[in-house]
Amino acid sequence: MRILFINDSVDVKSGIGRYAWEIIRRVKERGAEVIVLTRRKSSFDFVKQVLPDTFSSKGIFSPLREVRKYAKQCDIIHALDGYPYGIIGALAGIGLKKRLVINGVGTYSVLPLEQFLIKNLLKWVYRKADRILCISNFTQKEILKRVKLDNTEVVNLGVDCRRFANAMNLKKTGRVILSVGALKPRKGYHIAIQAVAKAKEKYPDIKYYIVGDQSHAAYFNKLKELSKNLGLEENIFFWQNIEDEELIGLYGQADVFLLTPINIENNFEGFGLVYLEANASGLPVIGSSDCGAEDIIKDNYNGLLVSQNDTEGTAKAIIKLFDNQDFAKKLGENGMALAKKMSWDKTVDRYFEIYKSILQK
């Protein structure tokens, strides 16, 4: 079996790269031959940087000849998001009779379906696909609102619990809240920071660690200004581009994981892999309802769900976990059990079942 993957990168320091790498390496380990086409450089010889660094129409059409060359060598084209990778894979495969699998991830699997110049093309691609693998029920629902399909299936992402095992052995350093994810508005950090300020009124020693790409400079500056205005300059700490070992160390220091994403004009949290990573580290999690996080967070079981844009509700959730350590510990234990069930191996098991079934058509 030969599979052509198309994605942004396999860089594990980014969320999209980590997700791709965890899937691709397991597919390789199971004996499939793999070629990966990306926008970003990689040291792996099976990864080819052939996609331009743009999402414009030129970025879709300019690499098609090169992509088609690799598609001819494979049995399955597997695009790890709808736009632009699903479109690129579908166009490059025209006339080749290759099977097409597309992952429905989040914003870029849905937002283009609302855009005049691209929506009909993406609808055609989705209908052409042998299977669309949605990473959450929310993502599937949002796609099906916009295009009628009978080829979708929800296959949640997973986590490697062994990677986070050491977090449980690290010493706690006080009341620490941790967030992980790129600093951009839909992640809802401005809501979380205001909630932490309210929680600080009861717990003055609270610390809030935020780990994520800071390239969205305007939003990052807004968060720093907000922290200053709320008197949190000595309570909030920002990191980016850290190594795995340091990240796992921060999971180990934390008492609570917090990420309260918000839906902004069809930009939304498609799944929230970091909730699973936090659960694998033994942490209770706080996340938002009405997004992909609901596939992971079971309210009052492994974490707490709060309404989007709800500063007061988020603050109450933080305080509830700090006030009730036994309850918080139980949520963390339940989270570890859930994380063990939602493994990357389980995800890739299902992928192989799908690969085999579509090749038999």
pLDDT digits (tens, 9 = 90+) for 123-179: 999 999 999 999 999 999 999 999 999 999 999 999 999 999 888 777 677 899 999
pLDDT > 90 in the chain, percent: 90
pLDDT > 70 in the chain, percent: 99
Which class in CATH covers the domain with range 2-158+343-359? alpha beta
Dihedral angle at the C-alpha atoms of 22, 27, 29, 35, nearest 10 degrees?
A: -100
* pLDDT given for residue 61 in this prediction: 87
**Whole-number Cα distances in Å, 23 to 20, 30, 106, 309:** 5, 11, 17, 33
- Residue range 122-137, pLDDT digits in tens: 999 999 999 999 999 9
Report the 3 state secondary structure along the chain.
CEEEEECCCCCCCCHHHHHHHHHHHHHHHCCCEEEEEECCCCCCCCEEECCCCCCCHHHHHCCHHHHHHHHCCCCEEEECCHHHHHHHHHHHCCCCCCEEEEEECCHHHHHHHHCCCCHHHHHHHHHHCCEEEECCHHHHHHHHHHCCCCCEEECCCCECHHHHHHHHHCCCCCCEEEEECCCCHHHCHHHHHHHHHHHHCCCCCCEEEEECCCCCHHHHHHHHHHHHHCCCCCCEEEECCCCHHHHHHHHHHCCEEECCCCCECCECCCCCHHHHHHHHCCCCEEEECCCHHHHCCCECCCEEEECCCCHHHHHHHHHHHHHCHHHHHHHHHHHHHHHHHCEHHHHHHHHHHHHHHHHCC
On average, the pLDDT of the chain sits at: 95
- Residue range 9-68, pLDDT digits in tens: 999 888 899 999 999 999 999 999 999 999 988 999 999 999 987 767 667 888 999 999
Tokens matching residue 253: 């220091």
Residues 283, 275: Cα–Cα separation, whole Å: 9
Which class in CATH covers the domain with range 161-341? alpha beta
| Cβ neighbours of 78 (radius 10 Å) | 28
* pLDDT given for residue 57 in this prediction: 66
**Band of residue 237 on the pLDDT scale cut at 50, 70, 90:** very high
* pLDDT given for residue 112 in this prediction: 95
Where in the chain do CATH 3.40.50.2000 domains reside? 2-158+343-359, 161-341
| Lowest pLDDT segment from 170-174, 233-237, 271-275 | 170-174
- Residue range 76-120, pLDDT digits in tens: 999 999 999 999 999 999 999 999 999 999 999 999 999 988 999
- Residue range 177-202, pLDDT digits in tens: 999 999 999 999 999 999 999 999 99
